[in-house]
Structure 1
């Protein structure tokens, strides 16, 4: 009986005895880069070009309308830093606003998040309730708090009246007005920061707390040496976001108070008034450049401060 044997199969490049070549990720081709082109065009048109133009106009006296303007060099920056009480006042107000918002919003969001870390029904419901103001527009929040602060018939004054206490002009005292505006900002965005902290707290291994409990650590040492270092990345996000929002509270202040009210002016509203009310676009561009540099410097300083406590 004759049996036919199948011819031996030839092994390819990946067969036995032969080493496969390591596969390298393909570099993006021209066709793939075309997908990013629309986003790059939008980014360039609405960010890069205005940024370059702002730097260009910052050294001129352009009024925003005329085709002709004169180059004044660093005169705008010199006047801003040495002889502009409006800009200095707006800067001081913005720093007060920043201090109130960053301290209260960061502290409250972390405190609430520590009580709402578990994914129980009550915790999820409370997170949703705290997050609800975030989905509102800044203008609606400003109008809402204007009814709360309104004098003499606002909500707060009505509550004071129930206890026989006199009303108070909440937005009338120049020393405290920016603080009360900051409280509205805290109510507006605390729920959003709670979500960030809850996510950070849920990533901490439970074994660390168990080991700390075995060593006899009480609540404060556990928070100081376990919780706080482990949530440093979340704190960096919260503080950076809160800082940027504090400098961008333009529409909240516009709805809550008048743009012409000096005691509530911050840098963003001052830039708006300089450009569109006074027609000094070149000077407003110089204010914008200093504005961006200030935000960058504060954000970098905060990031370094928080990262010093981060677990590596």
Structure 2
């Protein structure tokens, strides 16, 4: 009688699969340990070029270091006290910078929103016009300064030449030569320079608005202005917050544009905080300029925070 031999695995039948150890399922959300190495280069650069210089700036701000001596004398808060109470040059630069910022933030936000609204559709003409308005942004600040220096030239500049040709000589101006108006003309240049860049942010925000909202508003009898006020403005509030914050920082960093239009050093009517701080370092007043830099940084942070609060108050969802 033949005997059939069976292996132990065959004898156990289908239950064998249940007795075998199962591989552990990895959590799909768990990051591989090696991925933690990727942020290290950026972190090193951040520490080396921001954290350490900031700490050094705080240290130098309470000294009278001239930038060359191996030692520096500790002066405490004297630099800050002088800046905030008796430094007329810093006060003048602060006043100019606030005027410059207000003009740039208000008009750049308005014009970029208007361009974004009219160029939202991805038609050929809209794309072409977006490219045209964005073009100045890719130019260097020095190039823009030289272009507008020609435009503002009181003798043979473009504006005065055109005004004279059409018989409007009474509207001709010295532009940058007029101390009461100079900072505003530079602000207009800054708006022209970056309005296309902010327009792109608004276009991206406007294209995310569901069309059903406009259709519902139109069915309810809302006019174009009412649709813009009650649909468009609230929906682009996040984009507005970005534009205002970025424009504020830009207006305080218009260093090269000011030097290109006003010379080095610029005259008092064109002096802003960044050029005032630069003058301090150039005159070997490193400790004093470091104190001005800290006040400068705190001022930008405070203004940006206030803008954020204002936008959030008008639209709690931001």
Same-fold status (TM-score > 0.5): yes
Match of 1:160 among 130, 153, 163: 163
Q: Which residue of 2 aligns with 1:304?
A: 309
1:10 aligns with 2:14: no
1:250 aligns with 2:279: no
CA offsets 1:113-145 (integer angstroms, 9 cap, x no match): 111010000000000000000001111111111
Within-5 A mapping of 1:281-300: 281-300=286-305
Equivalent residues of 1:104, 1:186 under 8 A apart: yes
Structure 1 CA distance for aligned equivalents of residues 138 and 49 of structure 2: 25
Structure 1 pair 13/153, CA: closer, same or farther in 2 (3 Å)? Answer: farther
Q: Which residue of 1 aligns with 2:79?
A: 76
1:145 aligns with 2:148: yes
Q: Which secondary structure does the structure 2 equivalent of 1:69 belong to?
A: coil
Within-5 A mapping of 1:130-279: 130-166=133-169, 167-258=172-263, 259-276=265-282, 278-279=283-284
Equivalent residues of 1:229, 1:311 under 8 A apart: no
Equivalent residues of 1:250, 1:268 under 8 A apart: yes
Within-5 A mapping of 1:5-44: 7-8=13-14, 10-11=17-18, 23=27, 25-27=29-31, 29=33, 31-44=34-47
**Alpha carbon RMSD of aligned pairs, Å?**
2.1
Q: Which has the higher helix share?
A: 2
Report the Cα offset of residue 14 of structure 1: 7.7
Structure 2 CA distance for aligned equivalents of residues 160 and 32 of structure 1: 63
Match of 1:104 among 86, 97, 107: 107
Equivalent residues of 1:152, 1:168 under 8 A apart: no
Structure number with larger C-alpha Rg: 2
Structure 1 pair 191/14, CA: closer, same or farther in 2 (3 Å)? Answer: farther
Q: Which residue of 1 aligns with 2:70?
A: 67
Equivalent residues of 2:258, 2:266 under 8 A apart: no
Report the Cα offset of residue 214 of structure 1: 1.3
Structure 2 CA distance for aligned equivalents of residues 247 and 306 of structure 1: 20
Report the Cα offset of residue 307 of structure 1: 1.7
CA offsets 1:56-106 (integer angstroms, 9 cap, x no match): 000111111111211110011011111000000000000000001000000
Q: Which secondary structure does the structure 2 equivalent of 1:72 belong to?
A: coil
Q: Which runs of 5+ in 1 are unaligned?
A: none
Structure 2 CA distance for aligned equivalents of residues 192 and 44 of structure 1: 29
Structure 2 CA distance for aligned equivalents of residues 248 and 55 of structure 1: 20
Equivalent residues of 2:119, 2:126 under 8 A apart: yes
Scaled by the length of structure 1, the TM-score of the pair is 0.92
Equivalent residues of 2:277, 2:289 under 8 A apart: yes
Report the Cα offset of residue 151 of structure 1: 1.7
**Alignment length, in residue pairs?**
304
Q: Which secondary structure does the structure 2 equivalent of 1:171 belong to?
A: helix
Q: Which residue of 2 aligns with 1:121?
A: 124
CA offsets 1:27-63 (integer angstroms, 9 cap, x no match): 452x433332222221111111110000000011111
Report the Cα offset of residue 224 of structure 1: 1.5
Structure 1 CA distance for aligned equivalents of residues 238 and 36 of structure 2: 32
